[in-house]
Chain A
Amino acid sequence: MAGPLTIEPDDAERRAIVRDGLGVGIATGLYGVSFGAVSVAAGLSVLQTCALSLVMFTGASQFAFVGVAAAGGAPLSGALTALMLGTRNTLYGLKLAPLLDLRGWRRVAAAQVVIDESTAMSVTRTSRTAARVGFVTTGTSVFVLWNTFTLVGALAGNLIGDPRTYGLDAAVGGAFLALLWPRLADPRNRVIAVCAAAVALGVVPVTAAGVPVLVAGGVALLAGILTRSAADPTELPGR
């Protein structure tokens, strides 16, 4: 879907962008295996697991949904957590829209692959064509491979019996931490993370499963509102 070209990247640059996009697609797609296995371990069927990857298609939200299910939480709690995590894709879309200039059915189709990886592989480009090549290559390859490997992981997860024997319950915590890790470079985020974790654990004994995570989301809202009224040191350019 290259569309009318204004600034043309040369063939070498185009090949490099495609190669990088496929590389990211393969790396990301592979951890679809861990999602598939974790999801069936949480009690979802293979079909439900694949539906999450096809329709929801945003890794952190999917892991959150099955994480809440694994803890015995109500599906509604899982859905709300997934939606809150999905809001960051809205921000990615806002950044991508002027860059990619998508219209009509292309916009409707492209929206589904607005995720961390496709955004990262296109916002740094210097021309619209290059940004589109990066976005489409990465988005498509992640979509195809993530869904394929979700199925593989779900089928394998179904065969292995009690997931605790293989430490799959511990794998979920590791996965969330890995997703969180890059954001902890910011000192303010470290404070928020520790507070959110403490609040969540604090309300575990008194609420239904899944609710503690939503309460922690409330902490983020409160922190966002409160830090605004202070003289804001976070507004200093960080990089």
Chain B
Amino acid sequence: MTWVAIIGAGIGCYLLKLAGVSLPARALEHPLVERVADLIPVALLAALVAVQVFAEGTRLTVDARAAGLAAAVVALLLRAPFLVVVFVAAATAALLRLAVPGW
């Protein structure tokens, strides 16, 4: 099932790219299409951040991941590059868990 999803979504993502370079440019010109296309990544990424950090199965929880996210915010405010942001988030959570086992 995982393989079907990987290959299906992979081919789907390719077809989305191919459609872009194949469709007439007019397809973009509808303002509603542009607006929704701008908003979808924002909404999905924000939801992914929230769920990834504060959900444990179907439970909401605050643990070391939240501290990792806070550290990531600080890194982003300091204009750190992507890799540094990811590393800082991981290292903060890891160190906290070392200090407070079970967090």
A183 and B82 in contact (CB under 8 A), knowing A97-B25, A108-B18, A171-B90? no
Among the listed stretches A8-16, A123-131, A140-148, A205-213, which one makes contact with chain B, having 4 or more residues with CB under 8 Å of it? A205-213
Whether the pair B91, A167 counts as a contact (CB closer than 8 A) is yes
Chain B residues 20-34 with CB under 8 Å of chain A are 20-23, 25, 27-28, 31-32, 34
Whether the pair B44, A173 counts as a contact (CB closer than 8 A) is no
Chain B residues 64-91 with CB under 8 Å of chain A are 64-65, 67-69, 71-73, 75-76, 81-83, 85-91
Chain A residues 17-66 with CB under 8 Å of chain B are 27, 30-31, 34, 44, 48, 51-52, 54-58, 60-61, 63-65
Other-chain residue from B16, B44, B81, B94 in contact with A220 (beta carbon distance below 8 A): B44
Whether the pair A114, B21 counts as a contact (CB closer than 8 A) is yes
A interface residues, tally (CB under 8 Å): 107
Which residues of A lie under 8 Å from residue B37 when comparing CB positions? 87-88, 90-91
Q: Can you give 5 contacting A-B residue pairs, CB < 8 Å? A: A76-B5, A87-B37, A111-B18, A174-B90, A235-B31
Which B residues are closer than 8 A to A by beta carbons?
1-14, 16-23, 25, 27-28, 31-32, 34-55, 57-60, 64-65, 67-69, 71-73, 75-76, 81-83, 85-95, 97
Which A residues are closer than 8 A to B by beta carbons?
27, 30-31, 34, 44, 48, 51-52, 54-58, 60-61, 63-65, 67, 69-72, 75-76, 78-98, 100, 102, 107-108, 110-112, 114-115, 164-181, 183-184, 189, 192-201, 204-209, 212-213, 215-217, 219-221, 223-225, 227-228, 234-235
